[in-house]
Every structure is written in C-alpha cells, then in structure tokens.
Amino acid sequence: MSNTRNHLRKYIRYQLEQMSAANEQHRFEDLSLELARVRIASNVIRATGPVQSGGDQGRDFETFTTYLKRSPISSSTFVARATDDVIAFACTLNKQITTKIRTDLKTIHGGGEKPSRVVYFCTPDVPVATRHRIQKEALSKHGSPIDIHDGQSIADMLCDADTFWIAEEYLAVPAELFPPVVLDSEYENLRLRWLEKNKVPYNRADFAEIKRGLRRATFDEAARPEINRWIELMRNSAVPGMERKAIYEVAVAQLRGKGTLDPEREEIGRYFASVPDKVGIESLEDLVNLASYASTANKLGQFQEEPEKVASWLEVAASAISTALEQEVLSSRRYRLLLTSGHLRITNFQRTGAEGAIEGCLKDWMSAAEIAQKDPLCDISTIADLLSMMAAFLADDEAYHRLVALSDKITASREGETAAANRARDRALALKRAGKTVQAIDQLQRAKDGWFKAETLTAATASMMLLAAFYLELHLPQAARYHAMMAMVTALRADRPETMGRTLAEAGFAVADSYYLSGEALTFLGCVGAVLPIYHNYTAETDDLSQHESVARAAAHAGVITAISPHIAPEIVPEAKRLIDSWMLEQDQLDHINTAGTRMPWATAGKAIILKQLSEEIGQSIANDLRDPVSISWRALGIRWSITAPDHLRADADAFAAMLQITQADLANVDPLIIPSNAEIRLQSGSRWHMEQIPDNYNLLWIVEVPSIVKASQQTAITKTAEYSAALVMTALHQASALPTANFESILKTRLEGGLLNRIAFVRPAREMMKDAREMATKSNPLPTIELAESIHVEPLESTELKPIGSAKLYSREQSLEMIGNRYRRLGDFASRIAPRINSSPQAKAVLQVMHDQGVRDWEILVILFNTAMQRHLGPLNETLRRNSERAVQKIMQDAHKAVLADPNPAFDASDLLSETWEMQKFVTVMAMSQSWGLEIHRATPDISAVRQLLVERFHHQEDDIDHPDYFGWNNTATDAAPS
C-alpha cells in the first residue's frame, strides 16, 4: 500500500470501526479527549476528573463540570472553557446514533450551568440531512448549537501532522503509514540515524541529537507524526547523568506537542521529589520551566494533578533558585538565575495572584539588565524577548517601563537604533492585541524615533500608519491626521518614491478617515477624490471593492454621508454629490454610493435615529468643516476639550488640537487624577505666542495668540509650537488635577524625559502639515460658502482608555473605612442630639431624604450638619475671626469644635437645612474631604461639584460605609448597631 493521505484515512476509519466491534468505549473517550484538545480547546478536562476552581475556568465551568460528574453519561463527557463560553463534549460508539445524541443532549442540558456549545464525537457516520436535523433540534430545544464529528470526520482529522500521534497511540496505526515526512537535511539525518537504524545512544552527544529530533517533532508540525517515536527514544535513553534531563524533555514534548502532561504524571512527581543538593544552572532553568509548565497546564485542564502538589513543586523550584542566587557571584550566571527567578515569580502570580510577585519579577529582571549593561557576554535580547512576550501582562506597572527604557538603551548601543525600534514595535503590537491602545502608542512613538534616526523609512512609515490608526480608535482625529501626513511626507522622501506609492495612497486614505471622524464630510469626500488617482496608479484592477479595503471603507463612509445629509445638513447634498461623482470609480460604484439612502438601514431612518447613531458611533456632526468660527471638540482624560478660532486660523487650530491630543494620549499612561472639567482654548492672531487664562468657575479658559508670521527657521518653529502646546496642556492638566503639586511635577518630568516634546515636534511643523492636508483635500480651493439652517450639536465620544476610571492610586479602602469610623465615633453623640429635631421637621427631613436618595452616606450628612452647627455657634464671632491672625483664628476654631461636640443642646436649628448656609456647608465639606485624601485643588475658582464627582468616581465616596446607628430612620441602608 502506498503511503498517501487517502489510504491512511481509510485505514484509520477501519480502526475506528474496530473500536466499536471490540467495545472500546473508554479508549475512544481518550482519543476524543486528545483530539478535542488539539482541534477545539486546549483546556479540556474530563467531567469525571478533579474539579478545580479559580483562574481561567471560572464558576460556570466548575458548576457544569460538577453536574456532569453526577450525570448518567459522566464517563463519556468532558468540558472546556473557550473565551467566555463553556463547551461540552460527548462521545459514543453506539450505532443508534440519532437516538443516542438526543438522549445525551437532554442529559447535558438537564442541570447545572448550560453549555454554550456541544461537540459530539461518534464512530458511526452521520448523513448530512440527519446532522442538520439534529443541529436544528439542539438549537430549538436546548438553545445551544451542536457540532458532530462522525467517523469520517475523525479519520480525516487524524490524518493531519499535528494529530497523527493520537491515531498511533489509540488506534495502533503504524507510524510508517503516514506519508513520508521530508524536512531539511539535518532532520533527515537525525531521523535516519535514530528512527530508522535504531542506533543506541551512549553519550551526551547522542543525547543532544535525540533532543534535537524530539524538539523538531514537538514544534514543527510537519515532523509531528513522529513525535511518539522520538518520545519513546528519549524516555528509554540510558545516557549516564542525563536521566533528569530526559524526564524534562519528554514532559515538554508531551505538553507542547500533544497538549497534555498526564502521561508523565508519575515521572514529574519523581523529578521534583529528588532534586540534587547541587544543581547546575541549566538544570535549575529546567526545574523552573517544568514547574511553570505543570502549573499552567494544571490551570488549563491539561494536567490532572492535585493543585496542592503542583504548588509544592513551585516551592521546590523557588527554594533552589533562592539558594543558588545566595551562592553565585559570577555575573553571567547571576544574569541567567535572575531571569529564571523572575519567570518563576510570574508563574506564581498567574496561579495564585501572589502579592508582590510582579514587583519581584521586574526587580529581578532589572537587576539582570543592569548586569547585562556592564557585561557584554550577557545577551540583552533575552530580556527584550521577555518584555515583548509579557508586555500585555506587565505594562501597567511603572517598573516595566523603566526596564524597557534600559533594555532599549542597551539594545541600541549594541545592535543599533533600528534593532531597538523593532523591539518597541513588537511590544506595541503585543499591547494592541491585548486591547491596550494607549500603551501601544507609547511603544510605537519610541519605534518611530528609532527608525527615523536610522533612516529606515519603510519601517518609519509603517509606524506612522499604525499610530494614525490607533489615534483614530481613541477618537483623536487630529493626532491621527498629523501622523498620516507624516507618513505621506516620509514616503515622498524615499530615494525611489515610486516604491512607496501604495503606502502614499494608504496614508492619504488615513488622512481622509481623520476628516470623516472629525465630522468634516465635504473635506473627507474631497480628500478621497484626491487620493484615488494615486491609489489607481499603484494598484491592480479595482473593480471589486471588496478586494480593496481602504477604497471600500471610503465608499461606505460616502454612502453614509449621502444617506444622512438630507436629514441633518441638506444644504451640503449638492456639493457632496458633485465631489462623489468626481471620484475615479466605475459608474455603477458611484451610483451605489449615491443611492445609499434608499436602502436599509437608512431608508427608514429618521432624524432622531440618525442623530443617535452619530452620537454613539462618531461623536461629531458632519458639517464641522463649514463652521466659521472653527470649532473642534473632543474628550480625553476626563476633560471636554474645545478649540475655537477664526477661519483663517483653521490650520493652526488643527495643529494645536493634534499636539494637545498627542500629549493627552501620552499622559494617559499615568493617572493625573483629573477633576472632571471643560477646557476651552480660543485662538486669535497676534505678533507672538502668548497665553492668558481667563478666570471661570466652571471652565478652564485660555486665550492663545498665534503669530501670524513665523520668521524663525523650520526647526525653531516646530520646537516653539511644541513647547507652547505642551505648556498649555500641562497648565490645563495641572489646574484640573487634584494631585499634590510635587506628584504632578514628578509625572511631568517623567513624560518629558521619555521624549514627549519629540512626539509633538517631528519632521515638519504641525501647522504646515495640517495646511497641506486640507489643501490636498480641497485642491487648494476653499470649500464653497454654505449657510446651514440648523447647527447640529453632537457630544464628542471619549475612549475608555482615555477616561480615568477605577480607584485612584491615593485611595485605600482600609484608610477610607478608618476615616469613616472616626467620623461616626467623633460625631455620634452630636448626631443623637440633633437627629430628633430634624426628624420632627418634615421640611428638614425632606432635604436629607433627597440627599439620601441621591446616594449621600450618613457620615457625610453628619459632617455637613456639624459644620452647619459650627457656623451657627461662631455667628457672633465672625467679626472677631476677620480681625485676628491665622494662628488666633485656628485657636478659636478648635475651641468652637470642642464646644459644639460637648454641648448637650447644640446650637442647631432644623431650619438651617433650608438656608443658604446649608448649601455653602455642603461645598465646604467637599473641600475638607478632598484634603483628607491629601488632594490639592489648584484652580483659583474651583468647581466644587466636579471635585465631589471625583470623590464619588475615584474615591468611592458614595460606596464606602460601616455599620452605624440609624439616626434618620432610613431603615434600609444602616443597622442599629453602635459603630465599632
């Protein structure tokens, strides 16, 4: 028989049938389990195996597994967690397949958490019509889909290189039946020597060759069919002194090549139970790696061992590493030990969330990097690789970025700026895949700088394009436009610009996208019209738009504009159609765009629906380019930013917005602790740069004069504009920040040292690039004057990555509850004395009821009441307070505080809650409570309601409380217990 896939599939199909004849149900279960691990979900565990909680499996997984353990089909079911879904697997040899599947589905869905999906393995073939009928029934009766893999399907999957070992192991299929594996000459020589000639290994050189062959079969899918033969060879090798190494290599092959550690359970146990007193550096690395593999596999259901035992192996590895570090003095060996120690700490954190593990890991790796900086024999690329692989996991820690900076510095000194830039790009892409766009931008900005220094224009342009796309995702269109224009300028700088033609066109489309997402519909349409000829010049046939993503996206956006403009800006319809009709596209494509409004969903969409979608998806109107004066708005860092300018300063407004947005994205990597605010910048022409703040209780407002004529050199102009932009945004953020000045200045210093100014002052002045972008879109002609009958207002969107959320770094729940407890203890007697007066006054009680319903906690109400009583007590002394020194006033206030607390009949009247004094004391209390957290309010005219909003959102002001007496009879939120 010739070794073809067809012959192999027939043989495997026959062997599957023989399992049914021999009633080998349990063996088929094992086969199905391994196949599911390779093809569907790697973390499959048996329903009859140990139930492990926590980690990636979660409660649904545990509950469902527990239910299946008790079910009638417990011996033939297993489950997996794939993303947020629970998958249930079942298998059978039963030939009454339709009845069997229906019965098993009923059992699987009969209790516990319902699976999101069922995967069924069976040896009988299931006709297509039967399969579809069962799938339809499963959806209608049980609400989850079912995938059925019958004998033919299983046989076909087992013919693949990565699954053939399953057929070898469970169906006794000879390895020789797999079609010949032809790889490179090195592997062929290894294969011939060890698998064909059955040579007996005698020494470490022989062991090394077997290891190379096993590693190829483990990690190279083409060689995977021979993995079982290599495993057996390694397992049976009797090279003296290599016994532990053989156990390690076999375990790695089982997990990485076959997706399970279960076959090596006993050997791994012996491996950790017999660690020698003196362990070499390589053996220590193996020890840690195997402990890490076992821990991860155990969490993912790929290793059915008791979690406590796996945890003990991690402790064994940690002890061995700690001992070695205490004794080792050679720098190159300490370097490797520190890297291994950090790896082990990460494993511990992933398993248990061990406190301090991340900090310890980064400390170990920083020590290793410092050794590498002095010792050229220490390969910094090892750390650089780790920083890329672990970027998404570690990037929230400031120590990670310090380590990145040192690693890049060493890399640049040894391998050049391009190598360091490539490392930054790798980290950026890893972070973007993890949904960390702001941090990805930070890394790409590093890469951009490195590539330009190295004159690697292709890589630099790719960096610009990614930055443009990332800024657009953050709803920062002017920053995106700035980088897209940089990409165009860079492409034109190439020695052979024609080689960058496609990049030039893609950059042009990115510029157009920035206009679309900033609500400038006509400018967008003009920009696309200008870019299409470039695109056609460097691209093959474009009849099928689905094959040309950028063109298809532009056409889709144009269709939206033609569909919605009649409802919200009918005045632009003729000009929009004229611009679209000028596009270099086929007539049927243009007709499709122009008739978008006649098709769903737009055909039935009214103005209200359109405005709702604009608000939710773009956050801008569509006629912003027709506004005079110019108005640009966006949200970032908890602030609504807006720039207004006369029309002749439109390019300046665009440039200023771009630089502000770049700075804001940079600062989003830290937490400036922003008080929710509005910031408005009004640009006007002047003879020089000048910035003046206008006092305002609710808005941060600046008048910025922009020089009409720039006489300085280009580089000076770039730097000057960047400095003023940075100064403005830093001033605004400092005034909006509640951080102590020293903390804020520390953040500012860190970002400036990290190259912030270079990020907003690059290549050419931003004003010039914004002017060029608009001239490209309008062919150097201004848009026609179009008067809009109605100005549509749409609030700008804010990316969640740019919005400060979660607890502030200065917040501690323990400290919060301690302060709350102190307030109840200090004011408890006072509250007991005045509460009856309030409760007996319907009007006063109604005031507190409103506050209570709004979520204000009793401890805050008590503080406001006490301050109100203090104000009444001090009434006759107000003139005295005004005449005395600060020290004397402080003494008077302290005495009054004690007097009010001690007074059995405090100077308080329920009518005080209805006076202006009450509202004033609410504001005073907010400021005092902000100070209790060490916050500083930097605005001369603070917005008190915004300060309170900060306390609520970042300091859990309306969430934290403790048990306390029910002073005001709410009954539903407090207990009658005395405060502890």
Residue 635: helix, strand or coil by DSSP? strand
- Taking every pair of C-alpha atoms in the chain, what is the biggest distance, in angstroms? 111
Instruction: Output the pLDDT for position 291.
Output: 95
Nearest to 790 by CA among 947, 475, 571: 571
Query: Considering Cα of 175, then 179, then 180, then 181, what sign does the dihedral take?
Result: negative
Q: What is the rounded CA–CA span in Å between residue 975 and residue 326?
A: 55
Q: What pLDDT score does 978 carry? A: 39
Q: CA of 873: how far to CAs of 155, 715, 893, 894, in Å?
A: 90, 64, 10, 12
Residues 6+ apart with CB under 8 A from 246: 207, 234, 235, 237, 239
CA angle 327, 331, 336 (to 5 degrees): 80
For residue 693, CA distances in Å to 61, 109, 699, 727, 854 come to: 58, 66, 11, 12, 35
Identify the pLDDT of residue 53.
36
Amino acid residing at 945:
S
Decide: residue 495, CB within 10 A, 0-12 exposed, 13-18 middle, 19+ buried. exposed
Preceding omega of 942 cis (within 30 degrees of 0): no
Q: Which residue has the higher pLDDT, 868 or 450?
A: 868
- CA–CA dist 121, 123 (Å, integer): 7
Q: How far apart are CA 733 and CA 397, in angstroms?
A: 22
Which residue(s) pair with 85 in the sheet?
82
Other beta carbons within 10 angstroms of residue 443's beta carbon come to: 29
* Residues 964/970, Cβ–Cβ less than 8 Å: no
pLDDT at 307: 92
Contact 869, 834 (CB under 8 A): yes
How far, in Å, are 417, 820, 843, 869, 870 from residue 830 at the CA level?
68, 16, 21, 10, 12
Please check whether residue 504 is in contact with residue 492, taking contact to mean a CB–CB distance below 8 angstroms.
yes
Note the pLDDT tens digit of each residue in 61-74: 334 444 444 555 55
List Cβ neighbours of 286 (8 Å cut-off, separation of 6 or more).
Answer: 244, 245, 248
Q: Is 279 a residue whose pLDDT tops 90? A: no
Sheet holding 639-645, edge to edge: 630-636, 639-645, 677-686, 699-707, 690-694
The answer to whether 709 and 669 are in contact (CB under 8 A) is no
CA distance 867 to 681: 38
Please write down the HEC assignment for all residues of 27-75: HHHHHHHHHHHHHCCCCCEECCCCCCCCCCCHHHHHHHHHHHHHCCCHH
d(CA 944, CA 822): 24
Q: Report which of 33, 36, 62 is spatially closest to residue 50, judged by C-alpha positions.
A: 62
Q: Is there a contact between 441 and 470 (Cβ–Cβ < 8 Å)?
A: yes
> What is the DSSP code (8-state) at residue 87?
E
Residue pLDDT, tens place only, 139-149: 999 888 999 99
Please write the tens of the pLDDT for every residue from 809-862.
999 999 999 999 999 999 999 999 999 989 898 998 999 999 999 999 999 999
Side-chain-side CA neighbours of residue 271 (13 Å):
29
Task: Give the list of residues 6+ apart from residue 899 with CB closer than 8 angstroms, or none.
Answer: 873
Mean pLDDT value across residues 679-692: 89
pLDDT band, residue 975 (cuts 50/70/90): very low
CA dihedral in degrees (380, 383, 385, 387; nearest 10)?
-140
* Residue-level pLDDT at 546: 65
Rg (CA), the chain: 35
- Residue 543: predicted pLDDT: 63
- Please tell me the predicted confidence (pLDDT) of residue 137: 93
Could you report the per-residue pLDDT of 7-17, keeping only the tens digit for each? Answer: 888 889 988 98
How does DSSP assign 375-420, residue by residue? -TTS-HHHHHHHHHHTHHHHTTSHHHHHHHHHHHHHHHHHH-HHHH
Rounded average pLDDT over 184-212: 87
Q: Which residues of 160-198 are buried (b: 16+ CB within 10 A; e: fewer)?
A: bbbbbbbbbbbbebebebbbebeeeeebeebbeebbeee
E strand map for 619-734: 630-636, 639-645, 677-686, 690-694, 699-707
Distance CA 233, CA 250 (A): 10
- Tell me, what's the pLDDT at 237? 85
Is the pLDDT at 235 greater than 50? The verdict is yes
pLDDT tens for 740-751 read 999 999 988 888
Residue with tokens 């001992």: 323
Q: Give the type of residue at 313.
A: W
- Band (pLDDT 50/70/90 cuts) for residue 495 is low
pLDDT band at 512 (very low <50, low <70, confident <90, very high): very high
Q: Is the pLDDT of residue 274 over 70?
A: yes
pLDDT tens string 694-738: 888 778 898 998 887 665 565 666 677 777 777 777 788 888 899
Q: Quickly state the pLDDT bin for 973 (edges 50, 70, 90).
A: very low
Determine if the pTM surpasses 0.85: no
Tell me which of 539 and 349 has the higher pLDDT. 349
Structural tokens at position 577: 């159609």
pLDDT in tens, 84-112: 578 888 999 998 999 999 999 998 888 76
At residue 761's C-alpha, the angle toward residues 756 and 767, to 5°, is 135
What single letter denotes the amino acid at residue 886?
A: E
Asked if 938 and 741 count as a contact pair (C-beta separation under 8 A), the reply is yes
115 backbone dihedrals φ, ψ, rounded to 5°: -70, 155
Residue 476: CB atoms within 10 A of its CB come to 28
Residues across the chain: 980
Contacts of 282 (CB under 8 A, 6+ apart): none
Residues 899-953: pLDDT tens digits?
A: 889 888 887 788 888 877 788 888 889 999 999 999 999 888 888 889 999 999 9
Q: Residue 54: what pLDDT?
A: 36
- Only one residue has tokens 């439109």, namely 650
pLDDT at 971: 76
Q: Residue 880's pLDDT is what? A: 60
pLDDT-derived band at 528 (thresholds 50, 70, 90) equals very high
- The fraction of the chain above a pLDDT of 90, given in percent, is 47
Please give the pLDDT value at position 78: 54
Write the Ramachandran bin of 268: left for phi over 0, alpha for psi from -120 to 50, otherwise beta. Answer: alpha
Residue corresponding to tokens 């086929």: 586
Residue 710 buriedness (CB in 10 A; 0-12 / 13-18 / 19+): middle
Q: Could you give the dihedral angle defined by the CA atoms of residues 35, 38, 40 and 42, in that order, rounded to the nearest 10 degrees?
A: 120
Instruction: Convert the pLDDT of each residue in 413-433 to its tens digit.
Output: 998 888 888 899 999 999 999
Count of C-beta atoms within a 10 Å radius of residue 427: 29
pLDDT at 185 over 90: no
Distance spanning both ends of the chain, measured CA to CA: 85
What value does the mean pLDDT of the chain take?
86
Q: How far is CA 596 from the centre of its chain?
A: 35
pLDDT tens per residue, range 590-600: 999 999 888 88
761 closest CA partner among 708, 725, 730: 725
Q: CA–CA separation, 958 vs 859, rounded Å?
A: 10
Contact (Cβ atoms closer than 8 angstroms) between residue 195 and residue 226: yes
Higher pLDDT, 891 or 452: 891
- Sheet containing 45-46: order of strands: 45-46, 77-82, 85-92, 117-122, 146-149
Listed in order, strand segments (DSSP E) in 554-686 are: 630-636, 639-645, 677-686
The residue type at 157: M
